[in-house]
C-alpha cells in the first residue's frame, strides 16, 4: 500500500471525479475507483430515448477507461435498492406533501457516503474521495466543510448532511481549483473523453428534467386525483383551476396560465385542500423559518444557543445575513432581518460562518408565529 494510504474515489464518469482520481494517484495514494449504479435509466421515461446524466452505461465506461489507462482498479456497485428507498421515495413523498425536495443532499447524506464507506472498509481503504468543489479540514476535534475556491461551482451546500465520522476519512481534491483549471488538467493528462463533457444539472433519475412526468409515472392515478384544484389569491378568492398541487413549486411564475395582467408567483401550496396561493413578487418575502433533522459541522451545537450566520436556502444561493437559534437538540430557527424570497419547505437551510459550514437542516415551516415556536419547546 502507498505510504499515503489507499483511497476509494467515487467516479461518475464526469470530468471532476476523473481528475480527482488521477490527481490523487499522482500525489502518491493507492487509488481504487468506484462507480455507483443508482437507477435503471430505461425506467426513467421521457421522450428522448437517450441516457443522460451521471452513472449511465456511457459514463461507467468512461470511468473504467480512465482507470485502466492510469493503472488503478475500478469497480461498479449496484445501490439501486438503497437509492430507491432513501432518495426516490422521499422525493415523491415531499412533492405529495406540498414540499420541494432536494434529492442531491439526501443522496450525499444517506447513500453516497454510507455506500462509499461500506465499500471502503471492505476494500481496506483509509479514505474516500469525490469530485465535489468543497474543502474539509480538522479543527478543534471537528471536521469542518468549507466553500470551494470556485464560488460558481461550490458544492458545500449539498454536503451539510455528511456526518463527522465520514468527514474524518473524506478528501476533496478539487476544493482549491476552478472548473476551468480542472478541465485544463483533464486535457493535460489525456482525459479527452471527459475533458469537455458538459456538466449535468438535471436530477440523475429524471434525465429529461421533467419531474412532473416522473411523478405521474411513479404514482398511479396521480394526475386524475389532483387535477382541478383552485388557484386563490391571499384573500382566498378563487382565480382559476390548476393541474394539481404536486406539479408546482414555491416561487414558480411560468406555466401558471392565469391572465392577471401582471407577473404572479406561487406563494403557498396546501396539499390538504389542493389549493395553490398566487401573489406578487413581494408576497414571496419571508423572514423566519424552522428547520429540523439537523446536522452540525463546525460545532456540536449552536454556540451559546444563538449566533449570526450567513444562511443559504437553496443550491447556488450566495446566502444572506441571519440569526440562527437552537430550539432543541434537533430543531433550529433562522431569522433573516431583511427577509428572503421564496423560502421553500423541503429545501435545506445551510448556515455558514465565513466560508465554513456551521450546520444544516431541512426547512419544515416558514414564518412561524412566536407561540408556535414556544410550543415546539414543550
Show which residues are catalytic: 107, 204
Q: If we measure between CA atoms, which residue out of 159, 197, 206 comes closest to residue 12?
A: 197
Cell of 158: 449539498
Calpha distance 173→136 (Å, rounded):
10
Please say whether the dihedral angle defined by the alpha carbons of residues 272, 274, 276 and 277, taken in this order, is positive or negative.
Answer: negative
DSSP H or E stretch at residue 293 = strand 285-296
Contact criterion met (CB below 8 Å) for 3 and 28: yes
Alpha helix segments (H runs only) across 157-210:
164-167, 179-188
Q: How many residues does the chain have?
A: 378
Alpha helix segments (H runs only) across 29-158:
57-69, 80-83, 89-96, 103-106, 113-122
Contact criterion met (CB below 8 Å) for 276 and 229: yes
Neighbours of 173 (CB within 10 A): 23
Calpha distance 143→170 (Å, rounded):
9
Contact criterion met (CB below 8 Å) for 363 and 346: yes
Calpha distance 58→69 (Å, rounded):
16
Q: How far is CA 9 from CA 127, 131, 133, 155, in A?
A: 9, 8, 14, 17
Amino acid at each position: 500500500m502507498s505510504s499515503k494510504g489507499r483511497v476509494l474515489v467515487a467516479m461518475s464518469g464526469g470530468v471532476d471525479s476523473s481528475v480527482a482520481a488521477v490527481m490523487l494517484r499522482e500525489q502518491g495514494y493507492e487509488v481504487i475507483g468506484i462507480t455507483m449504479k443508482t437507477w435503471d435509466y430505461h425506467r426513467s421515461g421521457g421522450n428522448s430515448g437517450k441516457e443522460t446524466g451521471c452513472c449511465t452505461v456511457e459514463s461507467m465506461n468512461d470511468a473504467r477507461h480512465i482507470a485502466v489507462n492510469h493503472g488503478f482498479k475500478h469497480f461498479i456497485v449496484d445501490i439501486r435498492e438503497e437509492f430507491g428507498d432513501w432518495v426516490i421515495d422521499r422525493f415523491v413523498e415531499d412533492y405529495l406533501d406540498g414540499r420541494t425536495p432536494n434529492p442531491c443532499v439526501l443522496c450525499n447524506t444517506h447513500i453516497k457516503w454510507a455506500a462509499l464507506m461500506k465499500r471502503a472498509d471492505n476494500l481496506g481503504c483509509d479514505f474516500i474521495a469525490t469530485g465535489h468543489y468543497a474543502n474539509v479540514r480538522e479543527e478543534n476535534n471537528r471536521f469542518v466543510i468549507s466553500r470551494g475556491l470556485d464560488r460558481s461551482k461550490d458544492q458545500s451546500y449539498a454536503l451539510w448532511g455528511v456526518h463527522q465520522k465520514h468527514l474524518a476519512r473524506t478528501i476533496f481534491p478539487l476544493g482549491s481549483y476552478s472548473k476551468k483549471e480542472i478541465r485544463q488538467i483533464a486535457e493535460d493528462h489525456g482525459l479527452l473523453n471527459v475533458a469537455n463533457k458538459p456538466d449535468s444539472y438535471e436530477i440523475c433519475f429524471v434525465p429529461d428534467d421533467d419531474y412532473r412526468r416522473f411523478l405521474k409515472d411513479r404514482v398511479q392515478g396521480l394526475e386524475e386525483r389532483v387535477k382541478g384544484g383552485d388557484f386563490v389569491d391571499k384573500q382566498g378568492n378563487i382565480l382559476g383551476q390548476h393541474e394539481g398541487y404536486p406539479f408546482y413549486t414555491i416561487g414558480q411564475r411560468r406555466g401558471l396560465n392565469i391572465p392577471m395582467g401582471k407577473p404572479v408567483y406561487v406563494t403557498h401550496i396546501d396539499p390538504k385542500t389542493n389549493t395553490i396561493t398566487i401573489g406578487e413578487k413581494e408576497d414571496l418575502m419571508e423572514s423566519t423559518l424552522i428547520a429540523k433533522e439537523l446536522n452540525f459541522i463546525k460545532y456540536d451545537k449552536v454556540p451559546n444557543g444563538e449566533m449570526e450566520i450567513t444562511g443559504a436556502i437553496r443550491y447556488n444561493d450566495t446566502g444572506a445575513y441571519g440569526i440562527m437559534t437552537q430550539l432543541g437538540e434537533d430543531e433550529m430557527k433562522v431569522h433573516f432581518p431583511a427577509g428572503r424570497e421564496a423560502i421553500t419547505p423541503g429545501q435545506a437551510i445551510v448556515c455558514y460562518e465565513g466560508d465554513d459550514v456551521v450546520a444544516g437542516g431541512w426547512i419544515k415551516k416558514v414564518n412561524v408565529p412566536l407561540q408556535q415556536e414556544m410550543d415546539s419547546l414543550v
